[in-house]
Amino acid sequence: MATTQGVNVLRYSALVAGLVYGVYHQSSITSAAKRAEAQHEYARQERLIEQAKAEWKKKTTPKDAQSSGVITDPEDSRFDLEAYLKLKAGEN
């Protein structure tokens, strides 16, 4: 009878240990999947931000600067007189 009790203790101990390991393993798999999904979402948002910045820059850049790269509007704060004069000298 003593051996039967010892075997039952070992069986139930193994069962409990297996259940604990299963719960731990499942939680680690779930957390890894959530981390990967969060990284994927962050990368997608970075791409959207870069696209928005590029579109905004294309939208706000004056038409003159888009074709030659030089801002020809003297009222613009980024106006460069030297670059403008070189552009006009090259056209002649």
The H-or-E segment that residue 89 falls in is helix 81-91
The H-or-E segment that residue 43 falls in is helix 2-60
CA distance 1 to 88: 106
Torsions phi, psi for 18 (to 5 deg): -65, -40
**pLDDT band at residue 29 using 50, 70 and 90 as cut-offs:** very high
Q: Residue 12: is its pLDDT beyond 60?
A: yes
* Secondary structure letter of residue 76 according to DSSP: S
High-pLDDT (> 90) share of the chain, %: 53
**Residue 41 pLDDT:** 98
Q: Residue 61: is its pLDDT beyond 80?
A: no
